[in-house]
Amino acid sequence: MTSEHSPELAARAAQQHVVVVGGGIGGLVAARECAKVGMRVTLLEAADALGGSIRTADLDGILVDAGAESFATRGGHVKALVDELGLADQVVPPQGGGAWLSGIPDAPDAPLPKGSLLGIPANPFQDDVRRIIGWRGAWRAYVDRLRPPLTIGHERSLGKLVSTRMGDRVRDRLVAPVTAGVYSADPDEVDTDVAAPGLNAALTRIGSLTGAVGLLAAERKGTAPGSAVLGLVGGMGRLVEALRADLVAYGADIRTGTSVIRLERDGADWTVAIESAQGEHPDAEGEASLRATGVIVATAEPSARELVDAHVAGLGDAGDAPEIEIVTLLLDAPELDSAPRGSGVLTVPGSHTAKALTHSTAKWGWLREAAAGRHLVRVSFGSQGEPAATADLDDDAAAALALSEASALLGVTLHPTQLLAAHRARYVQAQPTSLIGATERRAAVRQAVTATRGLGVVGAWVAGTGLAQVVPDAVAEADRLRASLLWD
C-alpha cells in the first residue's frame, strides 16, 4: 500500500496525523509504516536518544552495544528490514565458538553441550553432557527412555517436563542456565510450546524426551536454527540510525526529550498532552498538546498502561517485568586473547551474582578490530523474580562487581588496574515471552486495544521480547491502524 500508486489513498493519507509515543524499535518501525504511505507522523521520545533497548556506549572511543547486540534470524523479519534499510552488506554472524557453563556443583566450568535443545540433551551419556550432570545424572536421565510418553500439552511447564522425564540435574544444570540467560526466567515458569515448538508433539510420536530432541535436531539439520543470531558491523545502533534517517526522508517529525503526559479523546480524534524543553518546537515548550487522528503507544508497559488505561477496558493485570543491568568493561587483558570461555558464559542459577557474560571482542570480529588488542566483556545481572545484584550500587561499585564476576566466569585473574573504562545500562525487560500464560495475556491486551478506534500499541510487552517478535508485530499493528484510519 503506497500513496504514489493511488491518488485517492494519497489524499486520505495526507489528512491523517499519527503520533507515535516512544522511539524504541517498535515505535520507529510503526512510525515508518505510517509515514511511507504519506501520513503525517510525529514521533515523541522522552529520552535524549532513540533506540529503547538498543543502546550505544562510548568506551574510550569505541562504540559498543550497551543493550541488544544482535537479532534472531527466526522468521526473517528483522533481516528483511535490515536489507530494506540498505544494511545487508553490514550483517555478520557471531564468532568465538559456543558458550560455556559456570557454577556446576562439584565440577569445573565446561562448554555448553552440543546438539541440545534449550539445554535438553539428546544423549545424556554424551561426554560433554555427562561432564556436567555426572554419571548419576546421566543414568537418571536415561530413565526417560523407559517412562511412558506424555500426551500433547500434558505438561506445559518446561522445567517440570524435564525434571519428571530426565531428573533435576538436567533441569538445574543444563536447562536453567539457558532459560535464565535467554528468557530471564526459571524453567518451571517457561511454556514448553512457546519456548520449544513441536517438542510435545515429538515426545508423543517418539515416546521419550531425549528422542524428541534428537528428532527435532534431525528435522532441522541443514537449516538455520531458530536461536541463530546475526549482528551488524558497528553495532545494532546502526539499525536505529537507519530507521531515523528513513523517517526523516519520509518527512516525519522526530522529537527526543519530549514526554507524553496523557492522552485525551477529542471527538473522533486525540489530544496528546506533551512536555518538552526543546525550544525549536514552540508548541512543545512547557506543557502543550498535539492533535492526532491516530496514536500508537510504543513505550514500556508501565508508562504505556498509564497512557491507555483510561481509554481501554479489559487490559488485565500488569506482568512482572525483570529489571536487568548490563555492565560493559573495557580491559587491557592479554590473558583473554585466547578467548578462554569462547563467546561467553551462562551460569547455573544461584552460583554467581551475574546471570551471564559475553566476551564481545571474541564474539564479534568488527569489535575485536576496533578494540585494537583490548577486550570488551558484558556482564548481565538480574532475572525474573531476582533483582540485579548491582541495583543498589553506585557505578564504580557496579563496575567492580562486574570485574570480579568476569574474573570468575572467564577463569582468569583480572585486576582493577586492567579496567580501562566501564559503562552501566539499566532497563526494565518486558515479561518474558515464554512464561506460562504470557501468550494469552498479550492476546487479551491486543484485543482490548483493537476495540479502541484510532489507538495502537506496540513493543515487547505486547509482542514478546526480542526484535524478531517486536518488528513484525509493529508492522502488523501499524498496518491495522492505518487501514482503519484510511478506510473506516
Count of beta carbons in the 10 Å neighbourhood of residue 283: 9
User: Is 178 contained in some domain?
Assistant: yes
153 torsion bin: left (phi>0), alpha (psi -120 to 50), beta (else) = left
Read out DSSP for 80-116?
HHHHHTT-GGGEE---S--EEEE--TTS--EEPPTT-
Q: Is 11 exposed, middle or buried (0-12, 13-18, 19+ CB in 10 A)?
A: exposed
CATH number at residue 211: 1.10.3110.10
CATH number at residue 260: 3.50.50.60
What would the grid cell of residue 407 be?
A: 574474573
Do 382 and 464 lie in a common domain?
A: no
Q: How many CA atoms lie within 13 A of 196 on its CB side?
A: 31
Do 253 and 183 lie in a common domain?
A: no
Calpha distance 92→174 (Å, rounded): 28
Do 455 and 406 lie in a common domain?
A: no
User: Is 160 contained in some domain?
Assistant: yes
Q: Is 399 helix (H, G, I), strand (E, B) or coil?
A: helix
User: Is 226 contained in some domain?
Assistant: no
What would the grid cell of residue 51 be?
A: 533506540
Q: Angle, to 10 degrees, between the axis of helix 25-35 and the axis of helix 467-487?
A: 30
Structural domain range at position 124: 113-220
Do 327 and 362 lie in a common domain?
A: yes
| Distance between start and end Cα atoms, the chain | 16
Number of domains in the chain: 3
Do 437 and 373 lie in a common domain?
A: no
Helices (H), ranges, 289-358: 301-308
Do 342 and 424 lie in a common domain?
A: yes
What would the grid cell of residue 79 be?
A: 533481516
57 torsion bin: left (phi>0), alpha (psi -120 to 50), beta (else) = beta
User: Is 59 contained in some domain?
Assistant: no
CA distance readout (Å), 260 to 43, 272, 312: 11, 7, 17
Local structure of residue 175 (DSSP, 8 states) = I
Give the CA diameter of the chain. Answer: 73
Do 150 and 211 lie in a common domain?
A: yes
What would the grid cell of residue 314 be?
A: 479489559
What would the grid cell of residue 442 be?
A: 498479550
User: Cα 177–183–185 angle (5° rounding)?
Assistant: 70
Do 333 and 397 lie in a common domain?
A: yes
**What global pTM score does this model have?**
0.90
Do 149 and 272 lie in a common domain?
A: no
Where is the domain boundary, 220, 246, 262?
220
Tens place of pLDDT per residue across the chain (488 aa): 444 457 777 778 888 999 999 999 999 999 999 999 999 999 999 999 999 999 999 999 999 999 999 999 988 999 999 999 999 999 999 998 888 999 999 899 999 998 889 999 999 999 999 999 999 999 999 999 888 776 544 678 999 999 999 999 999 999 999 998 888 889 999 999 888 888 988 888 888 999 999 998 887 664 433 348 999 999 999 999 999 999 999 999 999 999 999 999 988 899 999 997 654 444 444 558 999 999 999 999 989 999 999 999 878 777 666 788 999 999 999 999 999 999 999 999 999 999 999 999 999 999 999 999 999 999 999 887 778 999 999 999 999 999 999 999 999 999 999 999 999 998 877 777 788 888 888 888 999 999 999 999 999 999 988 899 999 999 999 999 999 998 87
166 torsion bin: left (phi>0), alpha (psi -120 to 50), beta (else) = alpha
